[in-house]
């Protein structure tokens, strides 16, 4: 009786491990080891799209597969969209002389960079050209920012950053 139980265990155990282990490698479902990353933006509460899929709002922490490059798009009304990337880069474990196939397939030898993404979104009030009269355009954009502040559409901190962006644009021209 003990021999029969042992024989069943020896036969069924490896078969169970083989078939349950393979389910994670089915085409299109395997993504590898996740890494937690942080996405921050100024202004906060920007919509986050990762690889084209709406994911949440900033600030946020999310786990992403290590082996893939991820496109992160931030959108907020009144600001130009910002696009950044999380990319896999070799980590300190990549220097190991011996690498195992499963660990390589899972992304054990890479980390996503940057681990913390900080983005200052550019206001839609920042012009794309100086126009015929740069001083007039500068004044119009600054007054538009003042109106948004007075109406409560933006916070004083956002106003400060928008004015700084407008000034920087005209100084660089």
Residue pair 56/62 in contact (Cβ under 8 Å)? The answer is yes
**pLDDT, tens digit (0-9, with 9 covering 90-100), for 81-101:** 999 999 998 887 777 767 667
Give the 3-state secondary structure of residue 97. Answer: coil
Return the residue matching tokens 């195992």.
100
**pLDDT, tens digit (0-9, with 9 covering 90-100), for 51-68:** 999 999 999 999 999 888
Tell me the HSE value of 110 on the side-chain side, using a 13 A CA sphere: 20
pTM for the full predicted model: 0.73
**pLDDT, tens digit (0-9, with 9 covering 90-100), for 28-54:** 345 567 999 999 999 999 999 999 999
Residue pair 78/124 in contact (Cβ under 8 Å)? The answer is yes
**How many whole angstroms separate alpha carbon 17 and alpha carbon 83?**
42
């Amino acid at each position: 009786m003990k021999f029969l139980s042992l024989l069943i265990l020896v036969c069924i155990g490896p078969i169970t491990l083989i078939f349950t282990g393979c389910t994670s490698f089915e085409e299109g479902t395997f993504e590898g080891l996740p890494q937690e990353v942080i996405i921050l933006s100024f202004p906060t509460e920007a919509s986050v799209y990762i690889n084209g899929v709406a994911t949440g709002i900033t600030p946020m922490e999310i786990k992403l597969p290590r082996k893939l490059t991820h496109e992160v798009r931030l959108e907020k009304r009144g600001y130009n969209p910002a696009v950044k990337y999380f990319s896999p880069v070799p980590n300190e474990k990549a220097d190991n002389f011996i690498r195992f196939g499963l660990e390589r397939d899972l992304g054990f030898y890479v980390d996503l960079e940057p681990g913390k993404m900080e983005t200052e979104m550019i206001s839609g009030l920042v012009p794309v050209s100086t126009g015929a009269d740069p001083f007039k355009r500068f004044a119009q954009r600054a007054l538009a920012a003042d109106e948004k502040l007075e109406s409560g559409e933006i916070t004083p901190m956002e106003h400060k950053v928008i004015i700084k962006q407008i000034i920087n644009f005209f100084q660089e021209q």
